[in-house]
Structure 1
Amino acid sequence: MTRSAVLDEVARRLSERDAGHPLRIGIDGVCGVGKSTFAEELVSRIGSHGRPAILLDSDGFHHVRAIRYRRGRDSARGYYEDAYDFGALREFALEPLGPEGSRRYAVRVHDLATDEIVREFATAPADAVVVFAATFLQRGDLRELWDEVVYLDAAIERAERRGIRRDAVQLGGADVAARAYASRYMAACRIYLDEEDPRSRASIVVDHDDPMRPRLVDRRD
């Protein structure tokens, strides 16, 4: 299948799902696998299937720097446990969007650029599909709050190479980015894979080794 066909099929499956409340979709996978781009394209496709679609940006759900780096900037465990404010995601977004919820959800709780705590809210239509892309989103009891999880699966070495290319400028060059991935980012993903086995828990798995030629995976594979 082409990338367009895979996106259309995933969008069709999600658009046909009626949960009785806004559908909460997590796009999961290791760093560099292509979650954000997939989520953006998926939201566009869901809209074309006649459902209101909302992209919830994970950048708005980080902890402040003092928490993110309290174990040190090279800490894999620190990135795994302290990067995202999943407590706020649960309280201000996933639970209000779930059964018996108010549908009034937080668009963001943190400004990554200024490091300020913010509270910005909106109200989702009852039939909305809300898409959130981030690593670690099936960690612990958070996974019970997703109505569907799409896991983008790729060889960790390929995802790492893509992530390094993507983040090289921001992190200060390819060599610096490679060290950061080895010690912090991909090291944290390995913890996640070992502790949570997120691929096996996801409801939809997409082989994303080659983002231009993804493949829907039969769960018997």
Structure 2
Amino acid sequence: MRLEAITWDRLGDLLAERLLELKTADGGPWPRVALDGAPAARPGDLAERVAEALRIRGRPSLVVGTEGFLRPASVRLEYGHRDVESYYSGWYDTGALWREVFGPLEPGGSGRVLPDLWDPVTDRATRSPYAELPPGGVLLLHGPLLLRHWFPFDLTVHVLLSPAALRRRTPEAEHWTLPAFARYAEETDPAGSADVLVRADDPRHPAWRG
């Protein structure tokens, strides 16, 4: 796997430039981008950089995090607070993501996206208003385990951490999630299947393949 050194700012610019030319797979007016990575890899930070680079270029975007689409605690914690299978398969409300995020961005859709649905702190609905994404606007969805759900992305970016870096940068209280990411790497191979790969073992010196 050959990667080139890059800065985060330059990476945001290059991804934004690529998105300006991107054609959607279904012919719709809204490109849909995955920024995939474990929480320790901070894919949301990259999503915000890309959004800012798009804004400078006059292209609207909407950053959505899957942490806003967690299932209620009664569902996701049914088998305990550290059940790896639940984390891997049942923590995120993929049905709501299909309905509230991807559905409105299908050809002929309204472009009205719900940016979040559930607050994990209060364990209640957020009641956030819908966001209007105009035609040509880009969806930047970030979160873990994104590439195993068959979401209709037009560009996929995986922020990779080696197993050692992932363990080092994951808070000890969350080490129980590490087997889920090992399984994800084995079953889905996000590093090999993503359109763009970013290695971020050293957060100051990323490298990429795009």
Q: Tell me if both proteins adopt one fold, taking TM over 0.5 as the criterion.
A: yes
Matches within 5 A, 1:199-210: 199-210=191-202
How many Å separate the matches in 2 of 1:29 and 1:111?
A: 21
* Aligned with 1:56 (options 64, 67, 81): 64
How many Å separate the matches in 2 of 1:47 and 1:22?
A: 15
**Residue-by-residue CA offset, 1:151-177 (whole Å, 9 max, x unaligned):** 11221221221222xxxxxxxxxxxxx
Matches within 5 A, 1:78-89: 78-89=86-97
How many Å separate the matches in 1 of 2:32 and 2:199?
A: 22
Matches within 5 A, 1:1-221: 1-19=6-24, 20-120=28-128, 121-142=130-151, 145-164=152-171, 178=172, 180-181=174-175, 183=176, 185-217=177-209
- The number of aligned residues is 201
CA RMSD after TM alignment: 1.7
Structure 2: runs of 5+ lacking an equivalent: 1-5
Give, as a single letter, the amino acid of the residue that structure 2 aligns with 1:125: P
How many Å separate the matches in 1 of 2:67 and 2:39?
A: 14
* 1:99, distance to aligned residue in structure 2 (A): 2.4
Secondary structure at 1:42 match in 2: helix
Deviant stretches of 4+, over 6 Å: none
* 1:48, distance to aligned residue in structure 2 (A): 1.4
Structure 1: runs of 5+ lacking an equivalent: 165-177
* 1:51, distance to aligned residue in structure 2 (A): 0.6
Give, as a single letter, the amino acid of the residue that structure 2 aligns with 1:78: S
- 8 A Cα contact 1:31 1:159, kept in partner: no
How many Å separate the matches in 2 of 1:179 and 1:122?
A: 34
- 8 A Cα contact 2:9 2:49, kept in partner: no
How many Å separate the matches in 1 of 2:16 and 2:173?
A: 36
**Residue-by-residue CA offset, 1:48-82 (whole Å, 9 max, x unaligned):** 12210211132211100011111211111111112
Secondary structure at 1:141 match in 2: coil
Q: Aligned residues: percent identity?
A: 28
> Which structure: greater helix fraction?
1
